[in-house]
Copies of this chain bind each other. A is one copy, B any other.
Amino acid sequence: MTYFDPVHETMPREELDVLRLERLQSTLNRAYLNVAHYRRAFDDVGILPEDIMSIDDLQSLPLTTREDIEANYPYDMFAVPLREVVRMHRPSAKSSKPVVTGYTRNDLINWARLVARYMVASGVTKDDVVQIAFRYGLLSGGLGMHAAAELIGASVIPTGVGNTAEQIMIMQDYLTTVLACTPRYALVLMDTVKQMHVNPRALRLKTGIMGGEPLSLELRKEIESGLGIEVFDNYGSSLVMGPGIAGECQVHEGLHVYEDYFIAEVIDPKSLKRLDPGEKGELVITTLTREAYPLIRYRTGDITSIMEDSCPCGRTHMRLSGFYGRVDNSFKVKGIMVNPSRIEQILSEQGVDTRFQVRVYMEGARELSEVLLEVKEGLFFDEMRAQETFIERIERAMYAGLGVRMKVKIVPGAVISGRGVVVDERP
């Protein structure tokens, strides 16, 4: 077993808990002193940072929601002056209100070191040629993975997403050994490999560094056998940091949460009570080192469960069992997070009040999605031309509001099984 940071990754539980509590207290103080939102939230429940004497006391503090963050857009959740912020990112989820996160220089250093833990656990060394096929830019995937691979000293090819045929050529010519991308983009690459009559076994690829969306057992197997690689899963959340919050080890049984940097809780999204290990619920994260953007009990919306038993890999950090979708029924298509309630809102802005259903499906290697609207008298028209114009207008509004193209179709009510239901037909 190799570690990037053996001292912290295999730290005895007692020492780790002392370190965590120290870091938690300093995070709570920083947040209370510098972020008006947290001061108000703590005052509302009558708790001062100094009242939190154990990790367990954290439960008495309020949760932080996406709405809290939206209400403080753009910079009111920042705990340092803007001049100390050296980077900004935002999540892909386009909701009604935008959000932004910030990083100090130390935050970026920590981020690279955390993603590097995950890459080293996957066997990546300075001898590897790592192709980063995550999206670069405002989304945190590309730059997050990139910095870690460079820190390890691998040869990094920043291909980003797209130009798939060229990416295959690069894999062949540059002798790529490690592919970093979302599981779904791995499927697209597999499909293109097939179309180009390239033998995947003739490539030097040995490892897949995945993340960005839930990875089912079936999907993992398909990618592993299709590309002849070993796949490692990783958990990220843009506002919390980006990729590198938790990552698989070579045991492949769950994702270790880097507990010296984050506190993970799983709660019942309805009762908001903390759940026991093994019970599935919503992941709640508290950051322990973020300077620019501390988050206290942030509701990620991601569904998982905690595994507390020790792992043969030697890491003392607890694991998450895997990811099982979103509390709010959101889904990702072409890397963009789409929330059905946002679709409802866009429809309503366009004067459409009707039941709708979303369908996400594959056409060859292409991910497509469509919104099925229930036909309604007075709202839709017999006249073909007017209907076309109507559909075009809604499709434009969807694209502007979601950042991804969705087809719009008008269907009989019987086809629709509920308001805002998402039918995901992807493998």
Q: Which residues of A contact B (CB under 8 A)?
A: 73-75, 82-83, 85-89, 98, 100, 102, 105, 108, 126-127, 129, 136-138, 142-143, 146, 150, 153-160, 163, 165-166, 169, 173-175, 400, 403
Give the 10 A-B residue pairs with the shortest CB-CB distance, closest first. Answer: A136-B136, A137-B160, A85-B155, A74-B173, A88-B157, A86-B150, A83-B127, A137-B158, A87-B156, A136-B137
Contact B136 A160 (CB under 8 A): yes
Question: How far, in angstroms, from A89 to B158 measured CA to CA in the complex?
Answer: 7
Contact residues in B for A136 (Cβ distance below 8 Å) = 136-137, 142-143, 158, 160
The residue of chain B having its C-beta at the shortest distance from the C-beta of A167 within the complex is B138
Contact A126 B88 (CB under 8 A): no
The residue of chain B having its C-beta at the shortest distance from the C-beta of A173 within the complex is B74
18 new A-B contacts at CB < 8 Å, known A83-B127, A89-B158: A74-B173, A75-B174, A83-B126, A83-B153, A83-B155, A86-B150, A86-B154, A87-B150, A88-B156, A88-B174, A98-B169, A98-B173, A105-B153, A108-B150, A136-B137, A136-B143, A137-B158, A138-B157
Most chain B CB inside 10 Å of its own CB: which residue of A87, A89, A137, A173: A137
Contact residues in B for A87 (Cβ distance below 8 Å) = 150, 155-156, 158
Question: How far, in angstroms, from A98 to B163 measured CA to CA in the complex?
Answer: 14
A174: shortest Cβ distance to chain B, in Å?
6
Question: How far, in angstroms, from A259 to B276 measured CA to CA in the complex?
Answer: 64
Question: How far, in angstroms, from A160 to B102 measured CA to CA in the complex?
Answer: 17
The residue of chain B having its C-beta at the shortest distance from the C-beta of A160 within the complex is B137
Question: How far, in angstroms, from A169 to B136 measured CA to CA in the complex?
Answer: 19
Contact residues in B for A108 (Cβ distance below 8 Å) = 150
Contact residues in B for A163 (Cβ distance below 8 Å) = 403
Contact A102 B155 (CB under 8 A): yes
Q: How many copies does the complex hold?
A: 2
The residue of chain B having its C-beta at the shortest distance from the C-beta of A137 within the complex is B160
The residue of chain B having its C-beta at the shortest distance from the C-beta of A102 within the complex is B155
Question: How far, in angstroms, from A157 to B89 measured CA to CA in the complex?
Answer: 7
Contact A174 B86 (CB under 8 A): no
A64: shortest Cβ distance to chain B, in Å?
21
Contact residues in B for A146 (Cβ distance below 8 Å) = 143
A115: shortest Cβ distance to chain B, in Å?
15
Contact residues in B for A138 (Cβ distance below 8 Å) = 157-160
Contact residues in B for A129 (Cβ distance below 8 Å) = 82
Some 21 contacts from A to B, beta carbons below 8 A apart, are A73-B173, A74-B174, A82-B129, A83-B126, A83-B153, A86-B150, A86-B153, A86-B155, A87-B150, A87-B155, A87-B156, A87-B158, A88-B157, A88-B174, A98-B169, A102-B155, A136-B143, A137-B158, A137-B159, A137-B160, A138-B157
Question: How far, in angstroms, from A160 to B193 measured CA to CA in the complex?
Answer: 28
Contact residues in B for A169 (Cβ distance below 8 Å) = 98
Question: How far, in angstroms, from A87 to B136 measured CA to CA in the complex?
Answer: 15
Question: How far, in angstroms, from A108 to B146 measured CA to CA in the complex?
Answer: 13
The residue of chain B having its C-beta at the shortest distance from the C-beta of A105 within the complex is B153
The residue of chain B having its C-beta at the shortest distance from the C-beta of A158 within the complex is B137
Contact residues in B for A166 (Cβ distance below 8 Å) = 403
Contact A174 B100 (CB under 8 A): yes
Contact A88 B155 (CB under 8 A): yes
The residue of chain B having its C-beta at the shortest distance from the C-beta of A125 within the complex is B83
Q: Which of B74, B86, B400 contacts A156 (CB 8 A)?
A: B86
Contact residues in B for A154 (Cβ distance below 8 Å) = 86
The residue of chain B having its C-beta at the shortest distance from the C-beta of A87 within the complex is B156
The residue of chain B having its C-beta at the shortest distance from the C-beta of A82 within the complex is B155
Question: How far, in angstroms, from A158 to B73 measured CA to CA in the complex?
Answer: 18
A227: shortest Cβ distance to chain B, in Å?
21
A94: shortest Cβ distance to chain B, in Å?
9
